[in-house]
Structure 1
Amino acid sequence: MNNLIDDTELFYEGKIVKGKAITIKKEMPINIEEAWQKVKTSDLLQYVAKGLIRFVPVNKNFPDTWKEGMEVKTRMLFFGFLPLGGIHVLKFIKIDNENHTLITNEYDKTAKVWNHKISMKKIEHGDKILYEDKVEVYGGILTPIIVMWAKIFYRHRQNRWVKLSEKIRKRKHNIG
């Protein structure tokens, strides 16, 4: 697993602010098309966040599948019950099926800027992918705490993703 933290400049309320960019990569044992279909679903978000964060949609339900241009409002509950950051807004900026890239611009009271990019690349041999989360964050004086939290959260997400990938692989081999 590769982790990288860089300084970055972001736009917030019409100004350029100093934030951080966190990149976390992991190999996963899953077919890229199957992974890509899953990453576009709210079910996967709930699954990979489980144990750390529970997302509760402000409107009755999340859509089954995310769509480019969509805006979703949610409450985040730390460990499933502690409110975190107020209403969290996710704007689906880009869903690129050809290049397996999904980009959201997000924010809440604490994380004033939370730009998230998911990308997947097929690894040459076998049904494996290189999965990458890149998040740019800004939260004023809370930015270092947000960075620490993001590292923990994305490691957790990717570990849950790997578990799901392994379950899918086992199921395929048992059936076929």
Structure 2
Amino acid sequence: MGTSKEDRAIKGSRAKTIHLSHDYTYPAGWVWGVVIDLDHLKTITKGLVSFRNLPSGQIYQGQHIQVDVSLFSWMPYQPYEMTVIALDHEKMSFQSDEVGAGVKSWRHSLRVSPHKDGCRISEEIEIDAGMATPIFAAWARFLYRRRHKPRLQILASLEQGKGNHQTTTNFQAH
């Protein structure tokens, strides 16, 4: 596979880094609240990834999550782990280190940046899956792009609720 503008080889390893961004016409706080809610993660990955033992609520710094994942809900479940290594509500950003299901390392960084028309989610995903890295990189690009439409649907339902977004943006200390 060739290297695209979204990918950059990491020197000294087989890892690839994927860069993605999506714009939203919703307030940054609403989008941030959706991004850090594990219940919304289930919704935005429905049909692509199924989870067993995924906790509810908002992610928090230092959180270690051990789940089983199944692609397309018909492939065998495999163990997967995620550790939230950094989370900053003020900057609306987080970083996680993930491993499992054939992946040696999956480092995900996300930030929500306000702009005059709403906000932008910018993501960087660094993946090392050995010789299977190109396949996992293609999967990541597909998976993260597919999250945009369900997020828009969640945000539209929050907007219709006029005020229900406050529960989504009520950040909890852990």
Question: What TM bracket, shorter-length normalisation?
Answer: 0.7 to 0.9
Q: Distance in 2 between matches of 1:133 and 1:164?
A: 19
1:33 equivalent to 2:29? Answer yes
- Structure 2 SS opposite 1:83: coil
TM-score, length of structure 2 as denominator length: 0.83
Aligned with 2:42 (options 43, 46, 62): 46
Any stretches of 5+ residues in structure 2 without a counterpart? 164-174
Q: Distance in 1 between matches of 2:115 and 2:155?
A: 15
Aligned with 1:111 (options 99, 103, 107): 103
Structure-1 residue corresponding to 2:157: 167
Q: What amino acid is the match of 2:30? A: E
Say what the alpha-carbon RMSD is for the aligned residues.
Answer: 1.9
Superposition misfits of 4+ residues, deviation over 6 angstroms = none
Any stretches of 5+ residues in structure 1 without a counterpart? 10-15
1:87-102 alignment to 2 at 5 Å? Answer: 87-102=79-94
Q: Distance in 2 between matches of 1:5 and 1:167?
A: 34
Q: Distance in 2 between matches of 1:79 and 1:109?
A: 14
More moved, 116-125 vs 139-148: 116-125
Are the equivalent residues in 1 in contact too, given 2:50–2:72 (CA < 8 A)? yes
Are the equivalent residues in 2 in contact too, given 1:32–1:121 (CA < 8 A)? yes
1:133-148 alignment to 2 at 5 Å? Answer: 133-148=123-138
How many residue pairs get aligned? The number is 159
Q: What amino acid is the match of 1:135? A: I
Q: What amino acid is the match of 2:22? A: K
TM-score, length of structure 1 as denominator length: 0.82
Are the equivalent residues in 2 in contact too, given 1:101–1:118 (CA < 8 A)? yes
Are the equivalent residues in 2 in contact too, given 1:22–1:134 (CA < 8 A)? yes
Shift of 1:167: 2.9
Shift of 1:131: 0.9
Shift of 1:81: 2.9
1:154 equivalent to 2:144? Answer yes
